[in-house]
Amino acid sequence: MAAKPAQTPPKPPATPSAEGAASNLVPDHVERFKQDCIEVLSTVEGHSVPLLQFPELFTKVKKEQFLLVNYKAKKIMRLLEAIPEVVQVQLLYIVMV
């Protein structure tokens, strides 16, 4: 009698990665956010700001309220993760690279 082939267990549902979540963003909006981040972070010494102070600094520099909906995003972290060539989040600080 031939041996039955081993059955492989079902794969668990995939969890969204940062890359996958960032890929849901609209490229034009990501590019606009990237340029806005450069402009905003260029105004502060060390090119870094605490994450929670970013919206206030954005409003001060850009003279408009920081709204995620303007970038078609639901979370600021998804936007920041979409532009690793420009910023990194380190211990809740946004740092321009």
Backbone phi and psi for residue 6, each to the nearest 5 degrees, phi listed first: -65, 135
Question: pLDDT tens for residues 42-57?
Answer: 999 999 999 999 999 9
Q: Indicate whether 16 pLDDT > 50.
A: no
Q: Which residues have a Cβ under 8 Å from the Cβ of 41 and sit 6 or more positions away? A: 47, 48, 49, 87, 94, 96
Q: Indicate whether 69 pLDDT > 90.
A: yes
Tokens of 46: 């060390």
Q: Indicate whether 93 pLDDT > 60.
A: yes
Rounded to two decimals, what is the model's pTM?
Answer: 0.73
Q: Indicate whether 96 pLDDT > 50.
A: yes
∠ CA 75-77-82, nearest 5°, is: 105
The ranges assigned to domains in the chain are 23-96
